[in-house]
Amino acid sequence: MTLSVSDNIERLWIFRSNLRIFEYYHKINNLAEFKEKCHDFYLLLGLELLRTQRVQKEVIIWRQTPPNVKPFEILFSVKSNNGSVAFFRQKFVSNFSDCFLNEKPDITLFRGGFPEYDDLVKRDKEFFGLSLYLPTGIRVKPIYGGSYDEILIESLSDFSSGVPFYKTANPEVFFHQKHSLKPKEFDLILPSNFSNSKQKGQEYFITQVVAISSFLKSLKILHAGNEPSKGTQICNKVNVTNIHFLGWQSRKTLNFLFNKSKFVVITSTKLDGCPRTLTEAMCSGTPVCVYKDTRALPYYENIPGFERFETASDLERIIKDNEIKEVIVDPQRKLDFSTIVEKNFSLWFKSLAKKSPQVNKI
């Protein structure tokens, strides 16, 4: 289905998370600063759809507040390409049921598969227009009794067919730095938080890949993520001494480190969704070595610079082959931000047209 300029909706809602934790960008109340610094694709997707007028009136992002924080809202006025103004609202509420006090959306994206979402659609599914379920990790399907119009997929290992969900990264944050970073300073960088170690697979990488390979143990390897002492403890157990644990890094610093490295290693397990570090790394222009169980659509696997590995010998081969080729991922093609957002919206609009016959089709 090809969209015309008239194919649009009035309101989009995104339920981003039930986690009552604030990121740095939740404190930003200036639109220009927000667009420059925010790394959350779901929020930036909403802004882009307002800019292109695919959403004409309003995008609302729903989050929950910590118990000691009163509900509040951050409002941005967004100019579209033709100069009209729409609104981007981040609503922080103590209870998601507050959403029923607002005007109904045309499309609602529920990201994460949390029980609060199922409670909402069980109460009144039709209120949310076209309801889209985007799972995380093991919650591939709704498990708390809710039903949705479409389940979005991030890997064909979960469903052989369905509505794919495409992601990319903020080009203001993740981009290829062409001039100043040769020769590369590091061989590999592993971006992952140890607070989510079951999902991120760092222990497998250290003990079952690096530790058994004299070649990999000779490389300069960085780890960027929280709780670095856990990584040091794992390395000490298996006599791995060549991984330097930096601790948590800002997204802009992470992009710099990606550009300073020959390869980014993504080790997420089946317990994780498609990790955002995957597309962030690819947008930096750095080749990615991706563990066999990490969720990713063929769309990404077919981009040069994406390689799957399982064993130490797999990773050795990839590194040696690509060092000869000097592969650089091209983020200006399939990972272009506007292109990815439009791909998602065109699929959603097609589903909306099936659900609501009054929606104009081409």
Is it the case that residue 361 has pLDDT exceeding 50?
no
Q: What is the mean pLDDT of residues 197-203?
A: 91
Angstrom distance (rounded) from CA 151 to CA 147: 9
- Residue 42: which of 285, 271, 252, 274 has the closest Cα? 274
3 state SS of 4: coil
* Prediction pTM value: 0.92
pLDDT value, residue 170: 95
Contact 149, 130 (CB under 8 A): yes
Assess if residue 4 is contained within a domain.
Answer: no
For residue 68, the 8-state DSSP code is T
The predicted-structure confidence for 97-137, as pLDDT tens digits, reads as follows: 999 999 999 999 999 889 999 999 999 999 999 999 998 87
Q: What confidence tens digit (pLDDT) does each residue in 242-284 have?
A: 999 999 999 999 999 999 999 999 999 988 889 999 999 999 9
285-318 pLDDT, tens per residue?
899 999 999 999 999 998 888 999 999 999 999 9
For the chain, the domain total comes to 2
Residues 343 and 293: their CA atoms lie apart, in Å, by 25
Is the distance from CB of 61 to CB of 89 less than 8 angstroms?
Answer: yes
The residue-averaged pLDDT of 63-77 equals 91
Torsion of CA 166, 169, 172, 176, to 10 degrees: -110
Same domain, 113 and 209: no
Same structural domain, 157 and 15: yes
pLDDT of residue 210: 97
Full residue range of the structural domain in which residue 24 is found? 9-168+336-355
Amino acid making up residue 11: R
In a domain, residue 361? The reply is no
Question: How sure is the predictor about 362, in pLDDT bands with cuts at 50, 70 and 90?
Answer: very low
pLDDT confidence of residue 359: 62
| AA identity, residue 83 | G
CATH code for position 288: 3.40.50.2000
Quick one: pLDDT at residue 75? Answer: 97
In a domain, 179, yes or no: no
C-alpha 259/C-alpha 268 separation (Å) is 21
140 and 254 share a domain? no
Let me know if residue 330 belongs to a domain: no
* Distance of alpha carbon 141 from alpha carbon 147, whole angstroms: 9
- CA distance linking residue 318 with residue 298, whole number of Å: 19
DSSP per-residue letters across 231-249: HHHHHHHHT---EEEEE--
Q: Which amino acid is at 145?
A: G
151 and 30 inside one domain: yes
